[in-house]
């Protein structure tokens, strides 16, 4: 513990991933990973700032947080950084009107965004929504644009649920990139902007020096 104490000296905040780190999602709300409920509680008691940073884009934040709370986690919606709000911000800043290929659960996160006459495509982990018909529609929208813009909420290869491994949005992003000859802009991890916005919301700054020291 002493070694860790020294390593963590000066650390002011902790960003925690959720899926595959705190819990494995799945039927019935998933299950916590051993020790994680207690670890979050101890971090919060320690006085460190704690924020949750996830690429989860199949569920609204309120549902995700509800599930985690029912599993015993001390977590609130305002503590979660997730791709949809970051994407909405980006869309507004650039005057983009998305065609949405997202899970029905998270569609409401885009309620304030103009989706008429689309001039870009936003994809997220749509799960069963990744039908051929829906993929083809997104493809056709992109091919109809003079300057195709593809925004992907995360680029995960797969994720784990209690019943096994599941294809994540990354493969579908690659499919559209290849078919349309475009390169997607990724909102979410591992984009540095995404981590920075999480830090900003937490009120701490990234410190390269600290990272170097921790690596030793």
Residues that bind a second copy (CB under 8 A): 126-133, 135-136, 139-140, 143, 157-158, 164-168, 170-172, 174-181
> What kind and span of H or E run contains 169?
helix 169-180
Tokens of 207: 């410190």
Identity of the residue, 84 or 156, whose beta carbon is nearer to a second copy in the bound complex: 156
Identity of the residue, 84 or 129, whose beta carbon is nearer to a second copy in the bound complex: 129
User: Is residue 165 packed enough to be buried (19+ CB in 10 Å), middle (13-18) or exposed (0-12)?
Assistant: exposed
Identity of the residue, 143 or 214, whose beta carbon is nearer to a second copy in the bound complex: 143
Q: To the nearest whole angstrom, how small is the minimum distance from the Cβ of residue 164 to a second copy?
A: 6
Identity of the residue, 85 or 127, whose beta carbon is nearer to a second copy in the bound complex: 127
Nearest to 173 by CA among 148, 187, 152, 158: 152
Q: To the nearest whole angstrom, how small is the minimum distance from the Cβ of residue 177 to a second copy?
A: 8
For 108, other C-beta atoms within 10 Å of its C-beta total: 11
Q: To the nearest whole angstrom, how small is the minimum distance from the Cβ of residue 43 to a second copy?
A: 32
Q: Are 25 and 161 in contact (CB under 8 A)?
A: yes
Q: To the nearest whole angstrom, how small is the minimum distance from the Cβ of residue 202 to a second copy?
A: 31
Q: In whole angstroms, give the CA distance from residue 188 to residue 175.
A: 19
Identity of the residue, 115 or 134, whose beta carbon is nearer to a second copy in the bound complex: 134
Q: How big, in percent rounded to 5, are the helix, strand and coil portions of the chain?
A: 45, 20, 35
Q: In whole angstroms, give the CA distance from residue 155 to residue 116.
A: 26
């Amino acid at each position: 513990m002493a070694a860790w104490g020294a390593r963590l000296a000066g650390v002011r905040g902790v960003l925690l991933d959720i899926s595959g780190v705190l819990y494995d999602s799945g039927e019935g709300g998933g299950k916590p990973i051993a020790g994680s409920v207690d670890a979050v509680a101890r971090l919060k008691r320690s006085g460190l700032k704690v924020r949750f940073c996830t690429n989860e884009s199949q569920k609204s934040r309120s549902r995700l947080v509800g599930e985690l709370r029912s599993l015993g986690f001390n977590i609130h919606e305002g503590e979660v950084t997730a791709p949809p709000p970051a994407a909405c911000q980006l869309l507004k800043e650039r005057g983009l009107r998305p065609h949405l290929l997202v899970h029905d659960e998270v569609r409401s996160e885009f309620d304030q965004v103009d989706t008429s006459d689309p001039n870009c495509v936003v994809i997220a982990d749509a799960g069963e929504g990744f039908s051929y018909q829906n993929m083809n529609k997104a493809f056709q929208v992109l091919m109809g644009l003079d300057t195709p813009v593809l925004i992907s909420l995360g680029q995960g290869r797969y994720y784990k649920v209690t019943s096994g491994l599941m294809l994540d949005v990354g493969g579908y992003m690659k499919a559209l990139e290849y078919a349309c000859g475009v390169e997607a802009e990724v909102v979410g991890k591992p984009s540095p902007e995404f981590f920075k916005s999480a830090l900003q919301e937490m009120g701490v700054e990234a410190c390269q020096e600290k990272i170097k020291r921790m690596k030793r």
